[in-house]
Structure 1
Amino acid sequence: MAVALASVDHSFNFRFPTFCCSSKPPTTTYRPAVILPGLGNNSGDYHKLELTLKEYGVASVVAKVSRLDWLRNAAGLVDPNYWRGTLTPRPVLDWYLKRVDEAVQEAKQLTQGGTLSLIGHSAGGWLARVYMEEFGVSQISLLLTLGTPHLPPPKGMPGVIDQTRGLLDYVEKNCSKAVYTPQLKYVCIAGSTLRLLPVCWAHAINL
């Protein structure tokens, strides 16, 4: 993860299908959402997503991340756990978790005492699980992940390399499972394009 920036796709293809929901402005105010950028992405990549959510009555805050920020992950190279494939999120990703917490605190000002949703793109999805494990889930009702690998790659298979150097193993062993519960709901979306077909985004993040 520390050196895998060259292969990152910085394009975030988000489209809201017009047949999914009514085109009329919403009459309901939904709980706000915090958007967690994926590996190599910056906050600006999610501007269209912010605007689309706003059109459907969902206020959002994007965690403030720049592309250069991801170079901080290179600090993991000096950790022997990186080379052993047993890297842990902290301290190498403390900077990211801090940005997420800042965004959550900002979004809480919009909740009027209610809860909020997290939307994690790619690595932002499993980093959201780390955040919830470290900072708590009392203000969070739902985690929606987009193209997020929630399980570590299989071990012992030729040609299979864990690009997270053990981070997904840590998440699997130490974070709450990504399963739907009445208290904390999960929606996982994967595919070649981030487009929901019969499901409306506004409803999906307010289950």
Structure 2
Amino acid sequence: MVRGHWSLVTGHWLLSMLPTVILPGFLEAAIAYRPLEKFLQQSGFPTVTVPLQRQDWFPTLGGRPMTPILLQLHRTVEQVLRQYNTAKVNLIGHSAGGWISRIYLGEKAYLARNAAIAAIPPWEAYRFVATLVTLGTPHISQERWTRWNLDFVNNNYPGAFYSSRVRYVCVAGKSIFGQRRRGSWLAYSSYRLTCGQGNCWGDGITPIAAAHLEGAENLILEGVKHSPKAPGIWYGSPQVVPSWVSYLE
């Protein structure tokens, strides 16, 4: 017998879905993603957030390797694979969590900037990730503290690199136009640091131009802001999730 239920989110019958893992954005703790996690669970997607706390990011500050975050991501994915007795999971990466997830998919050793530190063996997670959804992820950057990590990602895994094995869905918000004036100065500065141009559209932190990948299924969502703590709606708001959740099915 096929098991499933009717989804109030998508408006049709859902079969049992692959479990989904959420990787938080830079300096964010798992608690900020509980509403999204709960909403996905109620919509038929068994969902777990990587149990990060804000201080878990501190060893990565200043452009250091994201190894502590990758280790926690891998432990969570392994736990979910065992718990649900499944060969694959879906992965949602918010903000920096999206490009960190691209490292996780890869098959090349993640080299630390300090030559005295040994390279981290690859996880080759493309083997057990069905879909990667990135939400407001800056896939490029001009900012010197993030360039090393992002250069590693884009030099080794450009675009939707594993698209023959993994479905890539890149979601960008269009809510704030960056300008050098009150109310949009933060967006202007952030966009300029990310893609080199401040006068463009984005979610207030990540410009649309940086949030998409060549070869991915790229979406633009009107009115969506970057952070789960921002006023208004963000990528994980109940009225926004239906715009991208069907890609997990």
Q: Taking structure 1 as the reference length, what is the TM-score of the superposition? A: 0.70
- Alpha-carbon distance, 1:177 to partner: 2.8
CA distance in 2, matches of 1:180, 1:73: 26
Identity %: 30
Q: Alpha carbon RMSD of aligned pairs, Å? A: 2.5
Which of 18, 22, 43 aligns to 1:35? It is: 22
Aligned equivalents of 2:148, 2:71: Cα separation in 1: 21
Q: Deviations over 1:97-156 (max 9, x none)?
A: 100001101110244333111100000000001111121121111100000011233xxx
Q: Are 1:131 and 2:104 an aligned pair?
A: yes
Cα distance 1:163–1:43, how it changes in 2: closer, same or farther (>3 A)? same
TM-score under structure 2 normalisation?
0.59
**Change in CA separation of 1:68 and 1:188 when aligned onto 2, cut-off 3 Å:** same
Superposition pairs of residues 114-193 of structure 1, within 5 angstroms:
114-133=87-106, 134-136=122-124, 137-153=126-142, 161-175=143-157, 177-178=159-160, 181-191=163-173, 192=225, 193=234
Shift of 1:19: 8.4
Map of 2:119 onto structure 1:
none
Return the offset for 1:42: 0.4
In structure 2, what residue type is equivalent to 1:150?
H
Residue 68 of structure 1 and its aligned partner are, at CA, apart by 1.1
The answer as to 2:248 corresponding to 1:205 is yes
Partner of 2:37: 50
Q: Which runs of 5+ in 2 are unaligned?
A: 1-6, 107-121, 174-224, 226-233
Structure with higher RCO (Cα < 8 A, 6+ apart): 1
Structure 1 residue 27, shift from structure 2 partner: 4.7
